[in-house]
Each structure stands twice: as C-alpha cells, then as structure tokens.
Amino acid sequence: MTAQLPLTDVAAPTHPTPTPSPRGPRKRRVDPVFYLFLLPALVLFTAFVVAPAAVGIFYSFTNYVGFGSWSFLGLGNYAALVTDPTILASYGFTVGFALVTVVIAQVIALTLAIGLSRRIRFATSLRTVFVIPMVLSGIVVAYVFNFLFSNTLPAFATSIGFAPLQESILGNADLAWLSIVIVSAWQTIPGALLVYTGGLTAIPTDLYEASALDGAGAWRQFRSITLPLITGFIVINTILGIKGYLGVYDVIVGLTDGGPGTATRSVARTIFGGFTGGDYAYQMANATVFFVLAVLISVAQLVVTRGRTVRL
C-alpha cells in the first residue's frame, strides 16, 4: 500500500499591488517629431488665414478704401451697419433663404434616403446618380440653370399657355429668390442624402419586423422608430445646411448677381461687391460681424449635437 499524502491547498502566487504614484498617472510624452510635421500646416494657416483676417479686422476700424492712406474711425463702420437698409436687407434675405432652403433640402433628402433604403431594384445606381450634383462646380451649375430659367422654362410655359412662367423668373423681384432656393437645394441634397442613408443603415431591421408583427404601418414605423433614431442626423444636417446657405455666393452670381436690383443680394455678395467698390473697410466690418455670426452658429452646433448619439 502506498500512503496517500494529504491534499493541501496550493496558494496562488500573489503579486504585489503597485502603489499609485503620489503625483498621479504619468502623461504620455508627445514625440517632438509630431510638432515638426504640424509646423508647416500651422505656418501656412497663419500666413494665409489668420494674418489676413487680423489685418482685415484692423482695417474695419478705419476708413481704408483698399489703397492709399487711411485714418482711424473706431466703431463708426459698425454703427453704420445697424442703420444701413441695404445691409439689413441682405441679412434678412440670407437668413430667410437659409431657413427655407434647409427645410426643403432636408425633407427631400430624407424622403429619398428612406426610399433608397428599401429593397428596390437599381438602388445602388440611383444613389450614384443622386450624388452627382454634389461634385459639380456651383458656378457652372448656376449658369446652366440660368439658361434654363431664362430660355427653356419660358419657352415651355408659352407652349402650354402657362402665363405665370412665360417670363423669366430671374427678372422678377418677387420670384427670383425661388431660383436660388431650387439650385442650392438641388446641389446640397446629395450630401444630406448620404448622411441620412448612413443613419438609416444603422437602424436594425429587427425593430421594423417586430413592429410589423404588432400591426404598425409604414407611417407609424417612421414616426415611432425611424424619426427618433435619426434625430441626431437631422440636427447635424440642419445646422450644417444653414451654415452653408448663409455663405451662398457662387449660385447667386451665376443666377441673378444679386438682382433684380438688390432683391437677391446675400451678405457674401454684398461683402465681395464692396471690396471692389471702394467700401473695403466698411465691408470688412460687415465681414467681421458675419464671421461672429458663423462662430455663434458653430458653437450652437456643438451644444445642440452634444449627446445626440443614439444607443441601440
């Protein structure tokens, strides 16, 4: 017989717990090479963006016309902006145009995204076709639509006897803004469409299948499932769209050039027109105010979109 040795618990080896440093966790050092690669971009950005902007802001406090001597005016240019009807009208047109266009563009983009997310034939090809306007030059698109609104559309309206469109809407002070809305929306819908397509793709199909078993129709699924889960995408698209529409310039130049009269003159068109018209300092003050407005919108974007991600 062999004697059995009593089983003993073998204690697992213990490792000493590291004592946290009284100075807290050490921060990882950044390799100086990274700063070396950052330096060229920083120099170029400062030379071609920051420095010209600082010079322009300085001249906004003077009576500088773009050349020659100048004298300091203080806040005179800024005070004049508040009472200038042309400037106020340009801001009114720009804000109104941005709000109307962003609503139209988002509704159409969301509708197309929902349609293309269904299992339909040629969905991939249609997505490619709808994205084409986004890659075209804005000024080229504007000139093409200028020809359509000035020649093709009036000729077609005349052939069918539709009197309201027999004259070009570009020469009508009450309707010219519609052409800018149509062209701007047509060109920016693809970008919003891509964002919405990505948001819809992230929604699990199980949610729709379960709701269909419960008797939910298409409208109920959209209202209770789709819309809440893409709210963040709607907010992002809306704010980015408004920021882009506020700076509209090339479309206006190609369509109406701010006319008839000043009916479609945006803030950007007013600023650039003043640079060549002897109002350099005055329009730099206008540009500075417009820059502050853009910064406020960017801050609002960060505040509104914070925490908007949806966890499924």
Domains and CATH numbers, the chain: 87-305 (1.10.3720.10)
Nearest residue to 271 (alpha-carbon basis) of 259, 262, 283: 283
Give the residue, 121 or 174, on which the prediction is more confident: 174
109 — alpha (psi -120 to 50), left (phi > 0) or beta?
alpha
- Per-residue pLDDT band for 23 (boundaries 50, 70, 90) equals low
Under a CB-based contact definition with an 8 Å cutoff, are residues 269 and 254 in contact? no
Per-residue pLDDT reduced to its tens digit, 124-135: 677 677 778 877
- Distance of alpha carbon 109 from alpha carbon 186, whole angstroms: 10
pTM, 2 dp: 0.79
Distance of CA 179 to the CA centre of its chain: 20
Residue 123 has pLDDT above 50, yes or no: yes
Position 25 scores a pLDDT of 57
- Per-residue pLDDT band for 26 (boundaries 50, 70, 90) equals low
Position 8 scores a pLDDT of 47
Position 121 scores a pLDDT of 67
Residue type, 261: G
Per-residue pLDDT reduced to its tens digit, 260-273: 888 899 999 999 88
Under a CB-based contact definition with an 8 Å cutoff, are residues 180 and 257 in contact? no
- H helix or E strand, kind and range, residue 146: helix 138-147
Those residues with Cβ within 8 angstroms of residue 263's Cβ, 6 or more apart along the chain or in another chain: 93, 173, 174, 176, 177, 256
Read off the tokens for 182: 């149509």
Per-residue pLDDT reduced to its tens digit, 189-198: 988 988 998 8
